[in-house]
């Protein structure tokens, strides 16, 4: 029996999209810092002018799923990280936004076959949100770890996984690095061969 498991190494060829909701920016900016710190410490070039991470800024959390879906369907990314904060107020607005964002992010992952990480903090108070964005711990770090693990796992599941030495097979690496989305995203499951 084969065991498939994501890793946190060999990240040089991974590509990520980070979709960030601006609303509640005091919290979201801290989540983004934690996310970037994790990626950087695991060998990912987080420079916005580099070739590993693209940043998509949207007005608020409600807009995150649409952009996350488009990014995931583009075939350019191994994982999409969604960052935002929805804080309960005096109206039912929280319930509508939080519920729809979580459904939309899950749908983006299912429809695209690309890991779309739910990094939207949903809390009752601003204090709780700040605790999750750096006062006690920074969940941005955790969301990046999930993206790294899922990105490497999906490469294995799609037949582009690392071999026993921790390297992509040469033919698979060439397809990923050349930007051939069909090789990176859509394996031919009927014959267990990558198309």
Q: Catalytic residue numbers? A: 93
Instruction: Name the helix (H) or strand (E) containing 86.
Output: strand 79-87
What three-state secondary structure class fits 18?
strand
What letters, b where the CB count within 10 A reaches 16 and e where it falls short, cover 68-94? bbebbbebbbbbbbbbbbbbbeeeeeb
Helices 25-41 and 139-157 pack at an angle, to 10 degrees, of 50
Q: In sequence order, what are the residues at sequence separation of 6 or more whose Cβ sits closer than 8 angstroms to the Cβ of residue 76?
A: 15, 17, 54, 179, 181
Starting at the edge strand that comes first in sequence, how are the strands of the sheet with 79-87 ordered? 53-58, 16-21, 79-87, 116-123
Pairing of strands 193-194, 79-87: unpaired
Helices 64-73 and 93-112 pack at an angle, to 10 degrees, of 10
């Amino acid at each position: 029996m084969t065991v498939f498991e994501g890793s946190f190494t060999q990240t040089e060829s991974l590509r990520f999209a980070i979709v960030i909701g601006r609303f509640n920016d005091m919290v979201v900016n801290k989540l983004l810092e934690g996310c970037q710190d994790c990626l950087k410490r695991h060998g990912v070039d987080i420079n916005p002018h580099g070739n590993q991470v693209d940043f998509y800024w949207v007005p608020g959390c409600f807009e995150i799923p649409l952009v996350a879906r488009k990014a995931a369907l583009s075939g350019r990314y191994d994982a999409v990280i969604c960052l935002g904060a929805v804080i309960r107020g005096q109206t039912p607005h929280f319930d509508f936004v939080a519920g729809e964002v979580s459904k939309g992010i899950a749908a983006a992952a299912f429809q695209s076959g690309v890991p779309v990480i739910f990094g939207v903090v949903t809390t009752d108070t601003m204090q709780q949100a700040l605790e999750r964005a750096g006062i006690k711990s920074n969940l941005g770090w955790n969301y990046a770890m999930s993206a790294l693990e899922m990105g490497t796992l999906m490469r294995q599941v799609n037949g582009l996984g690392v071999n026993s030495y921790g390297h992509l097979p040469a033919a698979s690496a060439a397809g990923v690095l050349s930007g051939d989305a069909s090789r990176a995203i859509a394996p031919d499951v009927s014959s267990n061969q990558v198309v």
